[in-house]
């Protein structure tokens, strides 16, 4: 027993020494970055995927490369996709680390907003990408004009359906301003085309299995619905991956975001059209604007909209798809 206690004490001593060494090296690294006038940017992304957030991350890293003498970027992702509690904890950790800027997706959750306000009160610049927060102290938003993107989707939907459709909308979750704005812009088309009726709104929780469950549930409960609109990327990605040839449950399907799966869906006739977002530029512009703020004390604009576009089968290979 005595030998066992000595072993435990030795292990504890080693761990303590390593912790002190790590902390010392970390603090020394931070001090060196301050001496070099390096801007410490922490990025908290909700998800690591193969099409959307990975492109935002790629743009951020390209920005870091172009401003390598000015910016040091650290990227953090929760263990569970879109887990608010874990993201709040990551934001609080980066606040405690006293970074210069935090790049993160907006969310209306109170604890999430409070964590970001806490960071801002510590002098940390808050940059929201993809999704803004409607009521928040002055900050930078870089991303899609989501209301106008919804209007674009509605206009194209009217063209595809001839101005007459019974529509189900599949969204991600409640509480995301970007999705709410897209739905509002989309629904505005019914003022111009009263025969486009929006029958129901469902949520897929950013989960492919839920997408398919909702796909079948909507058709089963409301067989008169002939059009499905997915206002966030999971819906289109899932349908493009699952169906290898044109499906028959819905006459028309319109989705968001260019990914490998949504392109397959378009080419296979499953999807009629895609609203594209320039996710790479969301990430890149966020870094570029942070450097500008640190140099000049202001952003180019507190709201920077990146490009959106409409992709149909005849334009899928064209560069102007994002314009």
- pLDDT means per 10 residues, the chain with 323 residues, are 58 58 49 68 89 92 98 96 95 98 96 98 97 93 97 97 97 91 96 97 95 97 97 94 89 94 93 96 98 97 96 64 41
Flag whether 26 is in a domain: no
Same domain, 292 and 270: no
Residue 166 belongs to domain spanning: 146-277+311-322
In this prediction, residue 51 carries a pLDDT of 76
Task: Determine the pLDDT at residue 89.
Answer: 98
Is the same domain home to 58 and 175?
Answer: no
The verdict on 111 and 163 lying in the same domain is: no
Question: Based on the domain organization, do 159 and 102 belong to the same domain?
Answer: no
Q: For the chain, what is the mean pLDDT? A: 89
The domain total for the chain is 2
Residue 263, domain CATH: 3.40.50.2300
Alpha-carbon torsion 105, 109, 112, 113, what sign?
A: positive
Q: Does any domain span residue 62?
A: yes
Domain shared by 255 and 154, yes or no: yes
Position 12 scores a pLDDT of 56
Judge if 155 and 272 occupy the same domain: yes
Based on the domain organization, do 259 and 155 belong to the same domain? yes
Within a domain: 204: yes
Residues in the chain: 323
Is 257 inside a domain boundary? yes
- 286 with 129: CB under 8 angstroms? yes
pLDDT at residue 130, rounded to an integer? 94
The answer on 247 and 150 residing in a single domain is yes
Do residues 134 and 188 both lie within one domain? no
Find all residues with CB under 8 Å of 241, minimum gap 6, and list them.
208, 261, 264
Residue 68: helix, strand or coil by DSSP?
coil
Q: Are 230 and 272 in contact (CB under 8 A)?
A: no
Q: What is the DSSP letter of 221?
A: H
Q: What is the pLDDT of residue 27?
A: 46
Helix and strand tally (H, E) in the chain? 11, 12
The predicted model scores a pTM of 0.81
Task: Indicate whether 73 and 195 sit together in one domain.
Answer: no
Question: What does the alpha-carbon distance between residue 74 and residue 31 come to, in Å, rounded to a whole number?
Answer: 16
Q: Are residues 114 and 195 in the same domain?
A: no
If asked whether residues 58 and 76 sit together in one domain, one would say yes
Residue 245 belongs to a domain: yes
In a domain, 56, yes or no: yes
Residue at 13 is within a domain = no
Q: Is residue 188 part of a domain?
A: yes
């Amino acid at each position: 027993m005595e030998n066992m206690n000595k072993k435990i004490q030795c292990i504890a001593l080693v761990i303590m020494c390593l912790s002190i060494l790590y902390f010392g090296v970390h603090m020394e690294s931070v001090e060196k970055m301050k001496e070099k006038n390096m801007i410490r940017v922490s990025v908290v992304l909700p998800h690591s995927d193969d099409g959307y957030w990975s492109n935002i991350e790629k743009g951020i890293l390209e920005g870091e490369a172009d401003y390598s003498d000015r910016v040091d970027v650290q990227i953090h992702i929760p263990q569970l996709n879109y887990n608010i509690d874990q993201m709040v904890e990551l934001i609080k950790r980066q606040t405690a680390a006293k970074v210069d800027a935090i790049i993160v997706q907006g969310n209306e959750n109170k604890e999430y907003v409070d964590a970001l306000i806490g960071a801002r009160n510590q002098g940390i610049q808050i940059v929201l990408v993809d999704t803004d927060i409607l009521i928040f102290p002055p900050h930078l938003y870089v991303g899609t004009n989501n209301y106008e993107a919804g209007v674009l989707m509605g206009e194209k939907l009217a063209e595809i359906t001839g101005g007459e459709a019974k529509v189900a909308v599949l969204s991600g979750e409640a509480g995301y301003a970007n999705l709410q704005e897209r739905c509002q812009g989309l629904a505005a088309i019914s003022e111009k085309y009263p025969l486009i009726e929006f029958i129901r709104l469902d949520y897929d929780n950013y989960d492919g299995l839920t997408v398919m469950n909702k796909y079948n549930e909507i058709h089963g409960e409301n067989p008169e619905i002939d059009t499905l609109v997915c206002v966030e990327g999971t819906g289109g990605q899932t349908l493009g991956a699952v169906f290898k040839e044109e499906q028959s449950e819905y006459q028309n399907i319109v989705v968001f975001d260019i990914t490998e799966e949504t392109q397959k869906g378009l080419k296979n006739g499953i999807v009629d059209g895609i609203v594209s977002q320039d996710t790479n530029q969301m990430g890149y512009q966020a870094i570029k604007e942070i450097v500008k703020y640190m140099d000049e004390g202001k952003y180019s604009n507190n709201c920077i909209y990146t490009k959106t576009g409409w992709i149909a089968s005849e334009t899928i290979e064209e560069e102007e798809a994002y314009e």
